[in-house]
Structure formats: structure tokens, C-alpha cells
Structure 1
Amino acid sequence: MAKATDTVAQPLHIAVLTVSDTRTEADDTSGGYLVESLQEATHVLADKQIVKDDIYQIRAVISRWIADAGVDAVLVTGGTGFSGRDSTPEAVEPLFDKRIDGYGEIFRMLSWQEIASSTVQSRAVGGLANNTVIFCIPGSTGACRTAWDGILRDQLDSTHRPCNFVGVLRTRQQRES
């Protein structure tokens, strides 16, 4: 794992994708929460979109972002359950170069404290694709809060010790230079 050495937080460029067949910008509270949270942490919103729960629409948007060297991280909310057309993991996992297994494990552990056994229906997944870190979060605002407060805020903070994903992204960027 890459060690953090920064004493001042370095902002990342983060894109937010809401996966929903019903949400619009006017009522996308989960995506809105993630945007507010990342900006409060001094990160830069690279882009924000809403797409229908369709494997190919999800994959197309995320593929554009991971091909863009200006996007460091992608936060996806929605489409991680078992009902209806939930297909975010199926759309995103083929894009991963490496999985972040611990993300889903820790998310479900934290979620257990809030929703008990219902957390087994969470298919929160994370991975690294083309030097971009991707985290898929269930679609409720509460789940976004759990992921941000319990995992993402620290792991996207270059000053968090003993390690964070900013260090991993920088190590990979240096190797590729």
C-alpha cells in the first residue's frame, strides 16, 4: 500500500453518477449528497450525470470518465441491489483492472449497524480502472452517508494515514510516466 505523506490535503477530481430509472436533478438527493460532501472536503466535481439502470448506459458514462486523465475518482450511487433492473455491479466490474474487495466488506459491516441483516442485499463494489478509483454505493442517501463518512472521506484524503487511495493513484501515475 502507498503511504500518505501529504500534510495538506490534495483535491481530487471526482465524477458522480446516479443510476436510477426515476430520479431527476431536482430529486436526486443521493447524488446531491455526494456532490456536497466531496466539495466540502475540497475536492473538485469533475462531472455529474444521471443514467437509467441499464448496463450499457452505465458502462458508457464510466468508460468516458476512466478514459479521461482529468478524472481521479468515480462515485456511483444506485443500482446495487437485487430488485428490478439493478445492474450497476454487472456494468462496472468488467471495467476494473483491480477489485477493492475491502470496500464492499467494510461498507456492509458499517451498514449492518444501521439496517441489520438487510445489508446482505447490498452489492457495494469498488475497483481501480485505468488509474481511476471507482466506488459503487447503494442508492439511498443514508447509504451514501454511510459510505462517505465511514470509508470514502478518509480514503480520498491524501493526509489520511497510514494509507489512502490518493497515494495509490500517485504511485501508479509515477510508474506510468
Structure 2
Amino acid sequence: MSEQPGQGAGGTGTPGRPDLPERGDSQDRPGFASQPSEQPGKDPGKGESADRTGIRSLWLGGGALMISLLGFFPAGILLGIPALVVGFKARKAARRQQTQAPGAVAGIALGSAGLAVSAIFVAGFALVWPQWQNYQECRSAANTHTDTNACVDTFIHAVEDKFGQPRGTYDGLGKYLKG
């Protein structure tokens, strides 16, 4: 059989290039790691770097807080929990890899804040749900602004009674409910 260009005449090394190591042998090649565990920032069985996971936690936590502050409280809970989970996993992976997880601590803090804000508002809203339902029914039956204002006053007084507050404590809320 005749030799084709680039196949070399035998010997060690890559065919046609005896100065290079064999293709499967990456120990002597700069820039190539022979084991996945030698790559900095990589988790050997997961394939995801701790720094990317930390940044993901930061985005989730920031989203949880922003969405909570904008009033979408259930979505704040749904983003806050993954922010905490991903942040703690990033910190654990970084400790195992002896590297850093940028954004993980901030993601945990923002996710916790978003989760707390959402949980407080969801719990508060759950406490006044019966009063809110009565307010909605009254409001849908109201035909005039006077009727609407009466519904608002009834709702505010019902909430004050629910929490044992004296009349007039929550009168400032009326400006948000009156249309």
C-alpha cells in the first residue's frame, strides 16, 4: 500500500507529525486538561461551573425581589425558592472546587428578601380574603361613586375589626381603593 500525504512513515506521534503526541494523549499538550476535574471552576460530575450557577442565583433572586415589589407576590415566591436553592448549590460547588461562586451570596440575599416580601403579602392577603370577597361583591353591585365609596368604607372597617384596630386606623387605604 502506498503512503498518502500526512500519514508519515511510522514511528511515534501523530501521523505525519512525529513532533506532536498521539491524539488521545493530552497530558503534554498545553491548554488541554486530561481530566474534567483539572478544569478550574468546573464541577466534575455536573458539567456546570460554580460561577455560572452563582450568577444564575443572582438573576433569580433579583427577579424575585423586583416581581415581589411590583405586586406579583406568587411569582416572587416561585422565583425566590429557586434562587435560594441555586445559590446554596453554587456555594457548595464552589467550596468543593476550591473556587468562588460570584453572585451566589447576593442571589441568596435577594431571593430571601423577595421570598419574605411575597410571603408577608400573601399571608396578609389570605387573612383578609373574606373581607376582600365581600368588597368585590359590593363593588360589582355599586352603581354610583357614592356606592363605591360606601363599599370602600365597609371594607376598611371590616379589616379594622378583623385586626382589633380602632376605627379610622386604616382610613388612609381608602385613597388606593376608591375609583
TM-score normalised by length of structure 2: 0.19
TM-score normalised by length of structure 1: 0.19
Larger RCO of the pair (alpha carbons < 8 Å, separation 6+): 1
- Which has the larger share of helix? 2
Name the larger-Rg structure: 2
